[in-house]
Amino acid sequence: MFLLKRIAQLLILVGLLMAAYIFLPRYFPQLEILGQQEPKLMDTPLVVERAKEIAQLFTASFYTELVVDTTRRKPIVRRDTGGPLYALTHQTYMDTVETRLVLIAKGHCYAGITLDSLVVETNRDTRSCRLHIPRARIFSTVVNPSDVTIFYEGKHWSPEDVQGVKVATVERVRQEAVESGVLEVANRRAATLLIGLLKDSGYEEVEIEMGDR
């Protein structure tokens, strides 16, 4: 129990350092590091976030810019205006029209491990420690509305249609993050961090077991 409290205290300290890293560039823009436009894994500091009793350790993030080009054929109702009897019959018929929506979005994906299932086995005689942690997973995928630009070519796009494209865009950001190896990076960083914390606590030998129990 003492060791878990020690880990929690050190993680909170890391979280405070991360908060300074995030907010200082907002007031001092010259401190901000500009990223490249191509999708890449960001070498960000570690973030600790606590939600009620579940602690989440963010160890990797992914950023990308997407262009989502969606073309559909939408059903429409046309009026037959070609005949002299139109004024009397007002005939209509169904047709389809091709319409296009291009969405440009910037997205972030965050990965890490949950600390609620952390298991620690210690041996004070040999100053050794075995730590079992779950594998990293995606915690959140964010595409802010302010980071989305939409271009229309044609009409017939309802708010529900546009929302559907946005939802698909968020999922695409998540897929690109996984394919780029963000989970593997999160696993390595989590293991490195926890080993360092335990060795700083006085343990000479630290073994990490990663996986779901």
Residue 53, in any domain of the structure:
no
Reduce the DSSP state of residue 212 to 3 states and report it. coil
65 and 104 Cβ atoms separated by less than 8 Å: yes
Residue 11, in any domain of the structure:
no
CB under 8 Å to 195, separation ≥6 — which residues? 206, 208
Residue 49, in any domain of the structure:
no
Residue 171, in any domain of the structure:
yes
Residue 145, in any domain of the structure:
yes
pLDDT of residue 76: 62
Residue 94, in any domain of the structure:
yes
Residue 141, in any domain of the structure:
yes
Residue 98, in any domain of the structure:
yes
Domain tally, the chain: 1
pLDDT along the chain (213 residues), means of 10: 59 54 46 40 38 64 89 67 52 66 92 83 82 91 90 79 90 94 93 86 86 74
pLDDT of residue 110: 94
pLDDT of residue 116: 78
Domain coverage including residue 196: 58-210
pLDDT of residue 37: 41
Tokens of 167: 């939802």
pLDDT of residue 186: 93
Q: Please, what's the b/e burial string for 80-103 (b: 16 or more CB within 10 A of its CB; e: otherwise)?
A: eeeeeeeeeeeeeeeeeeebebeb
Q: Whole-angstrom Cα distance, residue 202 to residue 93?
A: 80
